[in-house]
Amino acid sequence: MLNLVLFGPPGAGKGTQAVKLIERYKLVHLSTGDLLRGEIAGQTKLGLEAKSYMEKGELVPDSVVIGMIANKIEANKAGNGFIFDGFPRTPKQAASLDELLKTNAIAITVMISLEVQHDALVARLLNRGKDSGRADDKDQSIIENRIKVYHKETTPVIDYYNAQGKYKAINGEGEIDSIFESIAKILDPLK
């Protein structure tokens, strides 16, 4: 199995690269942002709880996110592996993910962190907001808050995987295909 944590700030290109990675490695894509937006669209209790955090660019509580991911892992554990996109976003989530995987006799293979400069992130998100329909991509102050939250609450996840020898950083700026090739160079030997 190949179990990848695709990491990086909002606007780093995780979703874009995930589409290409799924095609090449036949992995199950688990994006907590997509799952949460699905819950909101379905007007579920979980969606209602998550909405107020997402609108402000804050993180949804760990317990909500972890609960949502558990049955998805269980349901897909016989496949080629997973791409975790936008998750884990706190060290607590990373530790819970390790536990969940362990109970299913699997483990994270590698964490790939896409590095993109602040101004490029803001420009990409504002551009995406023009047609993504995502309220959190339209307002510059919400975008700035999402990046701030990333630095404060999410970057410690790097230390978590670095301590396990699983952290790999790559430059997330440039052509989509050349970024993909840099990722593939890391993943191909790990298959």
Catalytic site positions? 14, 89, 128, 134, 146
- The DSSP bridge partners found for residue 171 are 115
Do the Cβ atoms of 68 and 46 come closer than 8 Å? Answer: yes
Residue (63 or 164) nearer to ligand AMP, CB:
63
67 vs 174 by CB, closer to ligand AMP = 67
Q: Give 65's contacts (C-beta < 8 A, 6+ positions apart).
A: 32, 36, 87, 89, 93
Q: Which amino acid is residue 132, in one-letter code? A: S
Output the smallest distance, CB 2 to ligand AMP, in A: 20
- Start-to-end CA span in the chain (Å): 7
CB of 188 to ligand AMP, least distance (A): 26
The site for ligand AMP (CB under 6 A) is made up of: 10, 32-33, 36, 53-54, 57-60, 65, 86-87, 89, 93, 136, 146
Label residue 165 left, alpha or beta by phi (over 0 means left) and psi (-120 to 50 means alpha): left
Please, which residue, 54 or 101, has the CB nearer to ligand AMP? 54
Residue nearest to ligand AMP (CB): 33
Nearest distance from C-beta of residue 12 to ligand AMP, angstroms: 10
